[in-house]
Structure 1
Amino acid sequence: MKIYLVGGAVRDKLLGLPVQDRDYVVVGGTPEAMVAQGFKSVGADFPVFLHPETKEEYALARTERKSGHGYKGFKVYSAPDVTLEDDLRRRDLTINAIAEDDQGRIIDPFGGAEDLRRGVLRHVSPAFSEDPLRILRVARFAARFAGRGFRVAPETNELMRAIVKSGEVDHLVAERVWVELERALGEDRPSRFIEVLRDCGALARLFPEIDALFGVPQPAQHHPEVDTGVHAMLVLEAAARLSPDTRVRFAALMHDLGKGATPKDEWPRHKGHETRGVELIKKFCQRFRVPNEHRDLALIAAQYHPHCHRIAELRPATVVDTLEAIDAFRRPARVDMFICACEADFRGRSGLENRPYPQAELFRRVFNAARAVNSAAIAAEGGNGPDIAARLREARLTAVRQVLQTAHNSH
C-alpha cells in the first residue's frame, strides 16, 4: 500500500496558505487491509476510512463512471489496480489533482502546479461534465482566489456552458446548491461566484431571480452604476468588507430582488420593489431550504432598508413600528446585522463606497433608547395586557423622539 496526501492540502501548501484539512488516498489497498491496521470504515458510497489516531480521512484510490443524473448518479470502482493517476484524473480541477508522497515529492500528472502559478482554474478531464455541481465549485474557487487574480480557463468555461445547455444543472439537489452558495458567500470575493455562474449561463438556470437584476436600470442620480445587477454585486462586496457573517452577505445579495420584477414601463423607478422582493425571497428560500436565520434577515433587509437610510426623517411612530417589525426587542443581535446590510446597500454604488453613513449610528442610538425603556417597571404599574402594551409603546416613542430631536438640533 502507498499513501499520498492529495487535494486541497497540497494546493494550499503550494500557495503558502495554512492547511485546514488533510485528505489521503491509498493506492494498492483493500478495505480488509485498512481495517486490519485499525482504520475505521465511514464511507457509505465509496471506501473511506478514519485514521485510528489522527481521525484524518483516507480513501482507497477509485474511479467513477456516470450512471444517472445528479450528485449520486455514479458507479464507483475501487480495487488495488487503480493507480494514483486514475484517482487524480476523476477530480474537478488541475489545482486539486496534485498529490504528495511521504517523502514530500510532488506528483502532478495534469499540470496543476503550473496552473496554480498562473492563476488558472482548469478542468482535469472531460469527466468534469459528469457532475454538474462542479460548476458551482469552480465559481466558488474563483471567489476564493479572486484576490490572487485566478480566472476560469476558456475551455473550462465552454465545458460549463455545455453542461448548462444539456440541462444537467436542473437535476442538482437544492440542499447541495445552498451549501455551495453559502460557502461562496463566505469567500473573499463572493461576487465572483455570481459572475462566473452568469458567464456560463448557470445563473439564469439556478438563480433566475438574481440573473433578472442584470440589465435593469435605476435612476443615475442615486445609482451612478445604473444597472441593478452591478449594484447587487457592489453591495455584496461592501457586505464582505463589513462583515464575515454569511447571513449579512446573503441579505445584501437579496435586498433588491424585487427590482428584477419591476414592470418595464416603470423603469428606471422601482416603486414597491421592497414588497415584491419579500415574495421573491420567500420563494427562493423555500426552493433551496435556506436556514431561517438567513431567510429572516434577508426579508427584513429587503422590506426595511429604506427606513434605515431615512432614519433621520422618520416619524418616531414609524421608527418604533420598524423596530417591532424586525423583532429588535426580542432579537437585539439582529439589529447590527440589519444595519450592516443597509450600510452595504448604501456603499454598494460606484464612487460612493467611502461616503459617511451616519444613519448606522443614529439607528443604533434610537434602538438603544427604545430598548432602555424599563418594561418590567411599566408592567408593575398594573393594568391589563393591551393597557401595558400601550404605555410601553408610548414610553418608547418618547425615548425615540428625544434621540431624533437631539440629532436634528446637532445639525
Structure 2
Amino acid sequence: MMKGEIVQGQAYLVGGAVRDALLGIEVYDRDWVVVGSRPEAMLQAGFEQVGKDFPVFLHPKTKEEYALARTERKSGIGYHGFEVSASADVTLEEDLLRRDLTINAMAQTPQGALIDPYGGQDDLQKRILRHVSPAFSEDPLRVLRVARFAAKLQAFDFKLHADTRDLMQHMVQSGELAALTPERVWQEVVKALNTQKPSVFFMVLREVGALKVLFPELDRLFVVTQPPKHHPEGDVGTHTMMVLDAAACLSDDLEVRFAALMHDLGKGLTPEEFWPKHHGHEAAGVPVVAALCRRYRVPKKTQQLAEKVTEWHGLIHKGLDSGGKPALKPKTYLKVIQACQVLKKPENFERILLACEADAKGRTGFETVAYPQAKFWMALAEAATQVDNRAILAQGHQGAEIAEAIERQRLQLIGQFLEAYSLKNH
C-alpha cells in the first residue's frame, strides 16, 4: 500500500474547490470527503488526524484535508451544539445535505465526474445563493458565511434566494446570533474584508437584520444625513460602504480596510438636531471604535490604526484647502504628525493616509478625484524629521529644555516647508 492511498472507501473532491472550478476561479485549496472508511484505515494509510470533534485528516504528501463523511444533528445552542456521526455507512448525499449552500454541496470524483444531488450547478448558473436544507438554520455562523460568500462572489453578481433570506431573517430574530463567540465573528469579518468588494458582506447582514445585532454602530449610520455638497451619495452608512470599497481598491492591507470601515462611527452619535453637520465626530468616534474592538477582540495593532484614522482624518483632509494650499497652522501640522507617530512609525502614517484617501474617494462623483494631501503630508513629515539634535545639545540645553528646543526646530522646519510648498505649487 502506497502512503496516502485510500484502501477503504472512496474520496470525493467537495465544496469550494468544485464551485470555484465551475466558475473559472483558480483553485488553491482542495478539500476531500471520504465515504465508507474509518479512522483506523486512514491512519494506517499514513494520514495524520487533526480533527478533535470529528475525524479530519491531512494527506501525508499533499497536506490536503480529507474528512470522513458525516452527519450532524442539532443537540444544543449555537454552532457547537451538534452531535456528529462519522460512521462508515454515511453516504455522500447525507454528507452534502448538511452543508450550507447548494453551490457548496457539490462533489467530484477523482476522474472529474460531477455529483450534484441538490441543484448546485443550476444555482451556480442562475447566480443564486440558496440553502441546502432547513438544517441551515441550526448554525448561526451561516448567516455570516452566506454574507461572506456574497462578497467573495460579488464579481458574479450572486443574489440571495428569497427563501434563504427569509430563513436568515428568522434566525436573526430568534436570537441565535447571541451564541456566536467574538473570535468567530471576527474571523468572518477578516475573510470578508479580504474580498474585492467587502461592502457586500455588511449590506447582506443589513438586509437580513444581522448588522443591527452584531454591529449596531454601523447599522445606525444608514439613517444619519450629511451635507449634500460634500456627500452626494447620501447617508453616512452608504458613504462608509463606499469608503470601505475604495480602501479595498487602494490597498490589500486589512488594517487599512478596517480603519476605513470604522472612520465615521462618531457621526452616529451626533444629535439629530445638528444634522447634516457633524462637528467633533472624529474625537467622538474613538471610544466607539475602541468599544467595538474590545467586543470582538480585534488585534491591538488593528484597533490602534483604526483609532488614529478616526481621530485625525478630518484635519488630514484640511491639510490642503480646496485650492491645494496649506490651510493649517504649523502647530496643528505638528500635532497631527506627532499624534500619528510619524517620527517613530512612518510606515503607519502611509497607511493612515491611504484610509484618508479612501474616505475622500468614497463619495459619489469623487471616486477618481486626486488626493494631493497624501504626498503633501508625507513630504511635510519628512521635513519635520530633519532636526539637528547635535546642534541642539551643543547649545547647552538640559532636561525639558531639549524637548522644547527640538519642538521649536520642528515648527521652524514645518514653516519653511509650507512656505516653499506654497511658492512651488502656486
TM-score, with structure 2 as normaliser = 0.94
1:173 corresponds to 2:220: no
When the two structures are aligned, how many residues end up with a matched partner? 411
Q: Please give the residue correspondences for 1:129-278 in structure 2 after superposition, counting only pairs within 5 Å.
A: 129-278=137-286
Tell me by how many angstroms 1:71 deviates.
2.3
Q: 1:382 to 1:64 in 2, by over 3 A?
A: farther
Counterpart CA distance in 2 for 1:289 and 1:100 is 39
> Residue 405 of structure 2 aligns with which residue?
391
After TM superposition, the structure 1 stretch with the greater mean CA deviation from structure 2, 245-254 or 389-398, is 389-398
TM-aligned CA distance change 1:156 to 1:374, over 3 Å: farther
1:327 alignment counterpart: 341
Within a 5 Å distance, the mapping from 1:350-365 to structure 2 comes to: 350-365=364-379
CA distance in 1 between partners of 2:415 and 2:298 (Å): 37
Among 43, 46, 67, the alignment partner of 1:59 is: 67
Change (3 A) 1:175 1:380: farther
| Segment of structure 1 superposing worse, 395-404 or 232-241 | 395-404
- Given residue 5 of structure 1, which amino acid in structure 2 is its aligned partner? L
Instruction: Give the one of 320, 327, 330 matched to 1:313.
Output: 327
Question: What one-letter code is carried by the residue in structure 2 that aligns with 1:96?
Answer: N
Q: Does 1:82 align with 2:96?
A: no
Whole-Å Cα distance in 2 between the matches of residues 381 and 298 of structure 1? Answer: 40
Contact 1:70/1:173, CA 8 A, preserved across alignment: no
> Are 1:43 and 2:43 an aligned pair?
no
Report the residue type matching 1:298 in the other structure.
A
Residue 336, structure 1, aligned to residue 336, structure 2: no
Q: Distance in 1 between matches of 2:417 and 2:174?
A: 59
SS at match of 1:354: coil
Deviations 1:80-108 (A, max 9, x none): 11000100111111111111111111111
**Does the CA contact (< 8 Å) of 1:145 and 1:188 recur in 2?**
no
Aligned to 1:303, which of 311, 314, 317?
311
Rounded to whole Å, the distance in 2 between the matches of 1:376 and 1:152 is: 65
Q: Secondary structure, in 3 states, of the residue corresponding to 2:221?
A: coil
Map Cα deviations across residues 281-333 of structure 1 (whole Å, 9 max, x no partner): 01000000001111111101111001111112111111111111111111111
Superposition RMSD in Å: 1.3
Of stretches 214-223 and 380-389 in structure 1, the one that deviates more from structure 2 is: 380-389
Distance 2:337 2:79 in 1: 43
1:404 aligns with 2:412: no
Deviates more, 1:209-218 or 1:323-332: 323-332
Kindly provide the amino acid, as one letter, of the partner of residue 364 in structure 2: S
Deviation at 1:379, TM superposition (A): 5.0
Larger displacement relative to structure 2 (158-167 or 144-153): 144-153
- Identity %, equivalent residues: 53
Tell me how far apart the structure 1 counterparts of residues 94 and 392 of structure 2 sit (CA, whole Å).
73
TM-score normalized with structure 1 length: 0.97
Q: CA deviation at 1:249?
A: 0.7
Partners of 1:58 and 1:22 in 2: CA distance: 9
**Which residue, 94, 113, 117 being the options, matches 1:105?**
113
User: Following the alignment from structure 1 to structure 2, what is the Cα–Cα distance between the partners of residues 53 and 365?
Assistant: 51
Task: Specify the SS of the correspondent of 2:380.
Answer: helix
1:345 has 2:359 as partner: yes
**Alpha-carbon distance between aligned partners in 2 of 1:330 and 1:342, rounded to the nearest angstrom:** 20
Q: What is the CA distance between 1:226 and its match in structure 2?
A: 2.4
Report the CA distance between 1:72 and its aligned residue.
1.3
Change (3 A) 1:2 1:219: same
- 1:207-244 per-position Cα deviation (integer Å, ceiling 9, x unaligned): 00000100110111111122111111111111111111
Displacement of 1:52: 1.4
Displacement of 1:79 in angstroms is 0.3
